[in-house]
Amino acid sequence: MTTILRHDPTGTWFLQGATSSYVLRVEPSGHLTHLHWGPRVEPGAIDWFTPTFDRAFCINEPGGRDSGFALDTLSREAPTGGNGDFRAPMLGVVNADGSHILDLRVVAQEIHAGKPRLDGLPATYVEREAEADTLVLTLADRSSGAEVVLHYTVFRDSDAIARSWRLTNRGSGSLRLTRALSASLDLPHCNWTLLQLSGAWARERQVVTHALVPGISSVESRRGTSSHQHNPFLALLAPGTTEEHGEVLAVNLVYSGNFLAQAEVDQYGHTRLQIGINPHEFTWELTPGATFQAPEAVLVRSGEGLGGMSRAYHRLYRSRLVRGPFRDAPRPVLINNWEATYFNFDTEKLLRLAAAGAEVGCDLFVLDDGWFGKREGDRSGLGDWTTVNLAKLPGGLQRLAEGVNALGLRFGLWFEPEMVSPDSDLYRAHPDWCLHVPGRPRSEGRSQLVLDLGRAEVRDHIWGMMTTILRSAPIGFVKWDMNRHLTEVWSRQLPPHRQGEAAHRFMLGVYDLLERMHREFPEVLVEGCSGGGGRFDAGMLHYHPYIWTSDNSDAIERLRIQHGTSMVYPLSSMDANVSAIPNHQVGRRTPLTTRATVASTGAFGYQLDLLALSADERAEMRQHSERWRSLRHLFHHGDLHRLADPMTNRWAAWMCVSPARDEALVTCVRMLTEANTARLPLRLRGLDPARTYRVQVETLREIPSGGGAAHHAPVHAVFTASGSALMGIGLRVDSPGDFIASTWHLTAV
């Protein structure tokens, strides 16, 4: 049965998700209206839904005969401006005659099985046509010849809908696009709490909520990347919505550059929800015949609170956004040398670290920044991917990689392909290859400039250097980094009136390089990174099965970062490493078990000098690696239930349940302890109430030692309980000290 149904007499389309419906109507005037996004309704007449009614001081259609029809009061899809809708438009243009009107009316309506690809952009996909249906609505502006083709893909058994559109200039004059949001829809009230994921470098994706007020509430990036500061995501929560209950409507953009996401409450108390490329400094020229493809937005509706929303995103993203041979493959345990050595390494030191990595159970050794060109620190060398630093690495990458392989580990390498250091051979040879405005100073960030990857010759050159390196040694992994934001966004290839295209062309260029990586090196696992989690978005997830979640590796800070990230992105996409104490970012000391437990909830690894640790600590690490290996299927394929919110509690707790509900892991981390308070009641979720589970408890107990450093003793216990008792009564967690992690491993008996 198709997921898209049409009720003919009224021209109404029902997009049917697993538990939700998204309902659109083509009005007799050809305007496209939005009728409903909420609980599932069965297709039929909803004639009582009049699109608009007579309101004072409104602009009516030309001729003015119907005073009840006003665009400003209409609940719209794909709204435009200039002729009566004074709210924020989804699309904006400047026509050849200088006017701004885009009067879009539906001229064709079709359903296609499956989902078409998006030209040059990352997107969700299907493997078989039967997995989804796509509604294709063609809208046209008769005067200018602008044609907009809207795509709505409904995934079977899911509450996710993918939206995008393509604009073609079918007129004879040129058309300038000035606003190209991917999705817009109007909701009938404003009684929502808005949830956004905001923060900073080393403090990414903190959950922030506030009530909507009249006017626009927005998050955006003007930095050229999706950014550490705000994520391209917004959710609207109905009153009383919690982790488990209540209605959530969410939008997430599959794009990694400048974005805008906003909720506008209009004069009547309606809400317009939008997401797309940031109109700030954006323009796109369309000569006759030219086409522009907007990025995809993924919309999720949940009737089961935030947890339901997250699980819908996770299921879709890990199976139909991430792609390639590593999509379903178990994540390797890695050791990365960055926090172990920074720039101070040589082959022998790295091999000793890799050997220690092998001892603690790693599968992969990643050589981070500093292996190439003149790169003794972060002030030089970027762009010189041709020369390996032979003073540090005699015998080159091959000797090192083979040495690492001989220890039983795969070898991985760091690149920052989008950048150039002014102090580099590449810059000296091609000073005009970076984004810059002729005659103006070039602003530096981390002593580096951004390459103009919108230009094919720049991309080809970078790619040529990378492929030579990738073929020079057995390299099975790449960490793809990006360590500054874009300034002086101006491209030599564009005439002055097209400079508004430079930032998006840069992004398309990055995607082109990532496509080449997938096509030519499918056996290489590519991790994303941007100063930690500065480009943790759905666009990047299409190319990177996982991303370095944050440069902040402190276990306690990571609780909030990973909690916020998990709102949209699956656990399997979050690279999380055990690092040293005192932690390099915040100076905190946490027990090894706690660091390992928090890192375990992502793609697990180590980033510390293993050689500085005792044999006992290394033996404990080996146990953590083995334990993670035995549980990683849960984090990769299981359902996440967040049990205690670290934004508002002194605890963080969550659990992952296998798809068959026969296994689960519950994790609880105490942040700061308190004297004599109630034990934390932890009601579990997602289990089979009718089954009995064997519960294996592991926690640490802090043993005070008379003024000296406390030490921690593990406590193990086993009991059995029914799923219904575990969910209805729950566990009771006490507080044995600061920063203590406990886990409960459940297996159905």
Q: How far apart are CA 183 and CA 539, in angstroms?
A: 16
Active-site entry in 481, 537, 575, 645: 481
What is the identity of the amino acid at 677?
T
- Chain center to CA of 669: 25
Joined together, the tokens standing for residue 147 give 């044609």
Choice between 133 and 339, CB closer to ligand GLA: 339
Residue corresponding to tokens 């809208």: 139
How many residues lie near ligand GLA (CB under 6 A)?
A: 12
Q: How far apart are CA 602 and CA 317, in angstroms?
A: 15
Residue corresponding to tokens 């905190």: 588
Choice between 17 and 531, CB closer to ligand GLA: 531
Is 551 tagged catalytic? yes
Does 417 bind ligand GLA (CB under 6 A)? Our answer is no
If phi over 0 gives left and psi between -120 and 50 gives alpha, with beta otherwise, what is residue 318?
alpha
At closest approach, how far in Å is the CB of 450 from ligand GLA?
A: 15
Does 551 bind ligand GLA (CB under 6 A)? Our answer is yes
Active-site entry in 133, 159, 369, 551: 551
Partners of 700 in beta bridges: 714
CB atoms within 10 A of CB 151: 20
Q: Is 324 helix (H, G, I), strand (E, B) or coil?
A: coil
Q: Which of 373, 381, 531, 605 binds ligand GLA (CB under 6 A)?
A: 531
> Which range in 103-111, 174-182, 385-393, 526-534 contacts ligand GLA by CB under 6 A?
526-534
**Going residue by residue from 338 to 357, which x/- string records binding to ligand GLA, judged by CB under 6 A?**
x-------------------
Does 481 bind ligand GLA (CB under 6 A)? Our answer is yes
Does 226 bind ligand GLA (CB under 6 A)? Our answer is no
Choice between 305 and 532, CB closer to ligand GLA: 532
What is the identity of the amino acid at 282?
F
Spatial contact of 675 and 611, defined as CB atoms under 8 Å apart: no
Q: Is 251 helix (H, G, I), strand (E, B) or coil?
A: strand
Q: What is the CA radius of gyration of the chain?
A: 27
Joined together, the tokens standing for residue 47 give 């004639």
How far lies 204's CA from each of 414, 458, 534, 562, in Å? Answer: 22, 31, 8, 9
Is 537 tagged catalytic? no
Does 412 bind ligand GLA (CB under 6 A)? Our answer is no
Does 204 bind ligand GLA (CB under 6 A)? Our answer is no
Q: How far apart are CA 406 and CA 384, in angstroms?
A: 28
Does 483 bind ligand GLA (CB under 6 A)? Our answer is yes
Does 383 bind ligand GLA (CB under 6 A)? Our answer is no
Map the footprint of ligand GLA across residues 360-379, applying CB under 6 A: 368-369, 378
Joined together, the tokens standing for residue 278 give 């940031």
> Which range in 114-122, 202-210, 527-535, 650-658 contacts ligand GLA by CB under 6 A?
527-535
At closest approach, how far in Å is the CB of 446 from ligand GLA?
A: 8
Q: How far apart are CA 84 and CA 216, in angstroms?
A: 19
Q: How far apart are CA 312 and CA 297, in angstroms?
A: 14
Choice between 201 and 490, CB closer to ligand GLA: 201
Q: How far apart are CA 716 and CA 696, in angstroms?
A: 7
Choice between 133 and 527, CB closer to ligand GLA: 527
At closest approach, how far in Å is the CB of 533 from ligand GLA?
A: 8
Partners of 25 in beta bridges: 12, 33
At closest approach, how far in Å is the CB of 481 from ligand GLA?
A: 5
Choice between 418 and 551, CB closer to ligand GLA: 551
> Which range in 270-278, 422-430, 525-533, 667-675 contacts ligand GLA by CB under 6 A?
525-533
> Which range in 325-333, 529-537, 614-622, 647-655 contacts ligand GLA by CB under 6 A?
529-537
Does 548 bind ligand GLA (CB under 6 A)? Our answer is yes
CA atoms within 13 A on the CB side of 39: 5
Q: How far apart are CA 528 and CA 544, in angstroms?
A: 6
Choice between 141 and 575, CB closer to ligand GLA: 575
- Chain center to CA of 607: 23
Spatial contact of 178 and 224, defined as CB atoms under 8 Å apart: no
Which residue is closest to ligand GLA by CB? 369
At closest approach, how far in Å is the CB of 477 from ligand GLA?
A: 13
Does 255 bind ligand GLA (CB under 6 A)? Our answer is no
Q: How far apart are CA 184 and CA 276, in angstroms?
A: 9
Does 532 bind ligand GLA (CB under 6 A)? Our answer is yes
Which H helix or E strand runs over 20? strand 20-26
Choice between 257 and 412, CB closer to ligand GLA: 412
What is the b/e burial string over 339-348, where b = at least 16 CB atoms within 10 angstroms of the residue's CB?
bbbeeebebe
Choice between 23 and 470, CB closer to ligand GLA: 470
Choice between 312 and 366, CB closer to ligand GLA: 366
Choice between 452 and 481, CB closer to ligand GLA: 481
At closest approach, how far in Å is the CB of 531 from ligand GLA?
A: 5
CB atoms within 10 A of CB 440: 9
**Going residue by residue from 625 to 644, which x/- string records binding to ligand GLA, judged by CB under 6 A?**
--------------------
At closest approach, how far in Å is the CB of 587 from ligand GLA?
A: 18
What residues have CB less than 8 Å from 91, skipping those under 6 apart? 78, 79, 80, 102, 104, 148, 167, 177, 179, 180, 181
Q: Which residues are catalytic?
A: 481, 551
Binding stretches for ligand GLA (CB under 6 A):
338, 368-369, 378, 414, 481, 483, 529, 531-532, 548, 551
